[in-house]
């Protein structure tokens, strides 16, 4: 038996519906004459209103009805879509979200203010109240005054109510169109002993007298047409829709609409589309994120147990045990890969959130801003996506407030009036690089240095490289804004960005060209759970290097080691590759092995060799977080449990290379 809370399911589906409405509104901002977008937004509002009423969210249904009415007028051509209307419905959409999340809370007069804004956007100051129809031309008014009588017969599939369709909601919407006479046909109800309480066996025969035309009736059934049987006939009078006008005859024949099948249609002909629809619905299954996290923990434990089994099998002469061990290793690897795919989501789900942010900030600042997204299909672990949302908000707001100039300043400097903010994502080895780029004024180095010196972050005149100077903007409380605004000026945000990225074992790079713009790149690991690693030994300790960063392995003889003392370079296919001696970096106090190995890794921007004593082999690595005592040890990104129960540290190659270069620079200065 399912334990899912129906209200929780509604909230999830409502959130998806609101996201679709928001996306449609933002697209409509750039294409106000696009009827398809208007129809899409209308359908989303219609769905949200109907679902809300079905699940008891009456305040949501009543409020959404006004927005739906506004877009219905746009859809019928009574009013034009404007940027003011889009802005009003976007603001109303935020209130709808609040009504979904907190239906019983006191929202004050927010709803009334938003409806007044919506009314002004649709009809101006002289417009009638939002719930009343607006004045139309005399011809349209005369046509609307004609009463049309319709006979509507419909039946729904037996599993309709189990799938969330409430026939009473459809009848209520028909009643809203005009005077109704409803007759229920109960002839198909089976005997009591064969009756399933979740199945629907009733059909309805409705006589409707309304000023509305045929399209209004179609809208009532717009979301259930694929699975139902529907017949709409004009009883007498002239339908408002020109296509429905027929020659008058003594016995008027019912108007037949091709897209609907009459109730008398053979049921077998309707089963195929219904089966296809149900098959499509079964292709996707909604799973709570907590269950995925729990499953990942179990897979991690399985990988550790499999590593232990492999170690025991390698020390045994039992052929059967080795065979079973290899089979378990293969299956656990496939299970791990499948689990990783389940946790991966495209960054498009993250980037889509910023369209609304940029739209609102453009209206607030008076700047003309274009948002460009690239690499939206790049996939990242869902946990990474969740943690990156807030840091990216700070970075985008900073680009707009500090980076982009006003339209007048841009035109004066020879640029286009519209500034561009580009969000891009790409995969590089075992990490994903997310960049926020703008074509604004760039970072003012003099102001950064002056602010850092006045704040005591650096000493006056202290020499700093360009990279070190730009990294100062991530210091807590640092801000170069001249005044505090709604966007920035309080010195909070960028330090949070750095802490969050470092907690994800990532790094931040900044490139800025005065007058041409800035680019902030976040280098984040693809996953935080399980990785393929290369297990190596340095002295008596064992370490794991992420296999995605490894390019190749070489042997370093004692003669080459001695010959490279003082320069730390190795010749690799006519190119010089710098290398670090991990034995010296970790201060193991041991003598080097006779046959040392060099593991050549790529950090995304350069290639570096790591000298180790022994390469043990590949290892499926379950990443365990470090204790709080090791928060400041950036050289290691985590730890893992080996097959014999011992612990091996996982190297963070980016921080490791930076630390090694800094140590060698200090040694050269000391020498």
- Mean pLDDT of all residues in 9-18: 84
- Mean pLDDT of all residues in 92-120: 85
DSSP codes joined into one string, 430-444: TEEEEEEEE-SS---
Give ∠ CA 269-271-272 in degrees, rounded to 5: 85
Please give the share of the chain, as a percent, with pLDDT higher than 90.
Answer: 4
Are the C-beta atoms of 531 and 547 separated by less than 8 Å?
yes
Q: First and final CA of the chain: distance in angstroms? A: 74
Lowest mean pLDDT among 199-203, 219-223, 531-535, 580-584: 219-223
Lowest mean pLDDT among 54-63, 140-149, 321-330, 379-388: 140-149
Task: Tell me the C-alpha distance between 144 and 213, whole Å.
Answer: 8
> What's the pLDDT score for residue 140?
40
Lowest mean pLDDT among 30-44, 116-130, 205-219, 608-622: 116-130
- Quickly state the pLDDT bin for 139 (edges 50, 70, 90): very low
Identify the helix (H) or strand (E) that includes residue 39: helix 35-54
> How would you classify residue 645: left for phi > 0, otherwise alpha for psi between -120 and 50, otherwise beta?
left
Are the C-beta atoms of 648 and 639 separated by less than 8 Å?
yes
> What's the pLDDT score for residue 601?
86
* Alpha carbon of residue 142 to chain centroid: 49
Lowest mean pLDDT among 263-267, 490-494, 610-614: 263-267
Give ∠ CA 162-166-167 in degrees, rounded to 5: 120
> What's the pLDDT score for residue 126?
37
- Quickly state the pLDDT bin for 165 (edges 50, 70, 90): confident
- pTM of the model as a whole: 0.62
> What's the pLDDT score for residue 323?
92
Lowest mean pLDDT among 112-126, 148-162, 429-443: 112-126
- Mean pLDDT of all residues in 128-150: 49
Q: Find the Cα–Cα–Cα–Cα dihedral 537, 543, 548, 553, rounded to 10°.
A: -10
Please give the share of the chain, as a percent, with pLDDT higher than 70.
Answer: 80
> Phi/psi of residue 370, each to 5°?
-115, 130
Report which of 613, 588, 611 is spatially closest to residue 601, judged by C-alpha positions. Answer: 611
Whether residue 561 has pLDDT greater than 60: yes
- Quickly state the pLDDT bin for 493 (edges 50, 70, 90): low
> What's the pLDDT score for residue 546?
85
Task: Tell me the C-alpha distance between 222 and 227, whole Å.
Answer: 11
Whether residue 613 has pLDDT greater than 70: yes
Instruction: Encode pLDDT of 462-477 as tens digits.
Output: 888 888 888 888 887 7
Whether residue 241 has pLDDT greater than 60: no
- Quickly state the pLDDT bin for 424 (edges 50, 70, 90): very high
Task: Tell me the C-alpha distance between 608 and 327, whole Å.
Answer: 36
> Phi/psi of residue 245, each to 5°?
-75, 130
Are the C-beta atoms of 118 and 54 separated by less than 8 Å?
no
Question: Which is it for the CA torsion 470, 474, 476, 482, positive or negative?
Answer: positive
Report which of 579, 439, 461 is spatially closest to residue 519, judged by C-alpha positions. Answer: 439
> What's the pLDDT score for residue 429?
66
> What's the pLDDT score for residue 384?
83
> How do beta strands 636-641 and 614-622 pair?
unpaired
Q: 């002909």: which residue's tokens?
A: 269
Both tokens assigned to 108: 């004050």
Q: Find the Cα–Cα–Cα–Cα dihedral 583, 586, 589, 591, rounded to 10°.
A: -10
- Quickly state the pLDDT bin for 265 (edges 50, 70, 90): very low
Are the C-beta atoms of 623 and 637 separated by less than 8 Å?
yes
Whether residue 489 has pLDDT greater than 50: no
**159: helix, coil or strand?**
coil
Task: Tell me the C-alpha distance between 159 and 614, whole Å.
Answer: 64
- Mean pLDDT of all residues in 438-459: 86
- Mean pLDDT of all residues in 81-100: 88
Question: Which is it for the CA torsion 187, 191, 194, 200, positive or negative?
Answer: positive
Lowest mean pLDDT among 401-405, 412-416, 639-643: 639-643
> What's the pLDDT score for residue 438?
92
Task: Tell me the C-alpha distance between 424 and 436, whole Å.
Answer: 7
> What's the pLDDT score for residue 660?
62
- Quickly state the pLDDT bin for 480 (edges 50, 70, 90): low
DSSP codes joined into one string, 587-644: T---PPPSSEEEEEEE-SS-EEEEEESEEEEEEEEE-BPPPGGGTT-TTEEEEEE-TT
Identify the helix (H) or strand (E) that includes residue 665: helix 653-670
> What's the pLDDT score for residue 389?
85
Whether residue 133 has pLDDT greater than 70: no
> Phi/psi of residue 5, each to 5°?
-80, 120
Task: Tell me the C-alpha distance between 656 and 599, whole Å.
Answer: 13
Whether residue 401 has pLDDT greater than 70: yes
- Quickly state the pLDDT bin for 564 (edges 50, 70, 90): low
- Quickly state the pLDDT bin for 422 (edges 50, 70, 90): very high
Most confident range (mean pLDDT) of 216-220, 596-600, 656-660 is 596-600
Whether residue 436 has pLDDT greater than 90: yes
Lowest mean pLDDT among 25-34, 145-154, 449-458: 145-154
Whether residue 137 has pLDDT greater than 50: no
> What's the pLDDT score for residue 662?
64
- Mean pLDDT of all residues in 427-431: 74
Instruction: Encode pLDDT of 281-294 as tens digits.
Output: 446 677 777 888 88
Whether residue 622 has pLDDT greater than 80: no
Instruction: Encode pLDDT of 322-379 as tens digits.
Output: 999 999 988 988 888 888 788 788 888 888 888 888 888 888 888 989 999 999 888 8
């Amino acid at each position: 038996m399912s334990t899912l809370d129906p209200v929780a399911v509604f909230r999830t589906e409502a959130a998806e519906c609101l996201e679709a409405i928001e996306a449609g509104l933002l697209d409509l901002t750039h294409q106000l004459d696009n009827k398809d977008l208007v129809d899409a937004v209308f359908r989303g509002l219609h769905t949200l209103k109907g679902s809300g009423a079905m699940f008891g969210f009456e305040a949501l249904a009543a409020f959404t009805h006004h927005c739906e009415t506004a877009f219905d007028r746009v859809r019928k051509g009574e009013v034009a879509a404007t940027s003011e209307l889009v802005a009003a419905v976007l603001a109303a959409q935020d209130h709808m979200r609040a009504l979904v999340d907190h239906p019983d809370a006191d929202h004050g007069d927010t709803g009334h203010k938003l409806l007044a804004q919506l009314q002004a956007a649709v009809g101006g100051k002289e417009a009638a109240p939002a719930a009343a129809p607006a004045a139309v031309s005399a011809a349209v008014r005369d046509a609307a005054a004609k009463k049309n009588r319709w006979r509507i017969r419909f039946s729904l599939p037996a599993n309709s109510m189990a799938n969330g369709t409430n026939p009473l909601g459809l009848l209520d919407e028909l009643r809203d169109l005009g005077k109704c006479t409803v007759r229920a046909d109960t002839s198909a109800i089976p005997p009591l002993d064969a009756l399933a309480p979740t199945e629907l066996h009733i059909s309805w025969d409705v006589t409707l007298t309304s000023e509305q035309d045929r399209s209004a009736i179609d809208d009532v059934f717009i979301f259930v047409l694929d699975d139902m049987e529907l017949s709409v006939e004009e009883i007498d009078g002239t339908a408002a829709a020109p296509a429905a006008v027929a020659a008058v005859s003594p016995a008027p024949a019912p108007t037949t609409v091709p897209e609907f099948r009459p109730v008398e249609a053979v049921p077998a002909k309707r089963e195929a589309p219904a089966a296809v629809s149900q098959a499509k619905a079964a292709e996707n299954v909604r799973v709570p994120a907590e269950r995925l996290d729990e499953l990942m923990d179990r897979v991690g434990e399985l990988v550790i147990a499999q590593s232990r089994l492999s170690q025991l099998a390698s020390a045994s002469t039992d052929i059967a045990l080795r065979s079973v061990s290899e089979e378990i290793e293969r299956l656990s690897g496939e299970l791990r890969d499948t689990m990783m795919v389940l946790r991966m989501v495209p960054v498009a789900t993250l980037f889509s959130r910023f369209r609304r942010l940029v739209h609102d900030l453009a209206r607030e600042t008076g700047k003309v801003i274009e948002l460009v997204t690239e690499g939206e299909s790049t996939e990242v672990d869902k946990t990474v996506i969740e943690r990156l949302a807030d840091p990216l908000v700070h970075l985008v707001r900073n680009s707009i407030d500090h980076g982009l100039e006003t339209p007048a300043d841009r035109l004066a400097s020879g640029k286009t009036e519209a500034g561009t903010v580009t969000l891009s994502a790409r995969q590089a080895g075992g990490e994903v690089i997310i960049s926020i780029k703008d074509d604004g004024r760039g970072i003012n180095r003099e102001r950064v240095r002056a602010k850092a010196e006045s704040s005591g972050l650096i000493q006056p005149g202290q020499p700093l490289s360009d990279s070190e100077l730009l990294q100062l903007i991530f210091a807590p409380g640092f801000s170069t804004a001249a005044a505090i605004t709604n966007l920035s000026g309080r010195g909070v945000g960028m330090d949070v960005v750095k802490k969050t990225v470092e907690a994800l074992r990532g790094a931040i790079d900044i490139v800025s060209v005065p007058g041409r713009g800035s680019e902030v790149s976040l280098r984040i690991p693809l996953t935080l759970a399980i990785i393929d690693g290369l297990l190596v030994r340095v002295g008596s300790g064992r370490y794991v290097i992420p296999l995605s960063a490894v390019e190749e392995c070489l042997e370093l003889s004692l003669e080459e080691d001695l010959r490279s003392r003082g320069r730390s370079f190795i010749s690799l296919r006519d190119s010089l590759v710098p290398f670090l001696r991990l034995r010296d970096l970790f201060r193991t106090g041991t003598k080097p092995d006779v046959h040392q190995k060099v593991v050549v890794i790529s950090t995304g921007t350069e290639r570096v060799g790591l000298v180790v004593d022994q390469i043990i082999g590949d290892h499926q690595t379950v990443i365990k977080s470090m204790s709080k005592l090791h928060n400041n040890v950036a050289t290691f990104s985590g730890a893992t449990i080996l097959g014999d129960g011992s612990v091996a540290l996982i190297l963070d190659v980016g921080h490791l290379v930076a630390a090694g270069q800094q140590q060698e620079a200090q040694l050269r200065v000391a020498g």
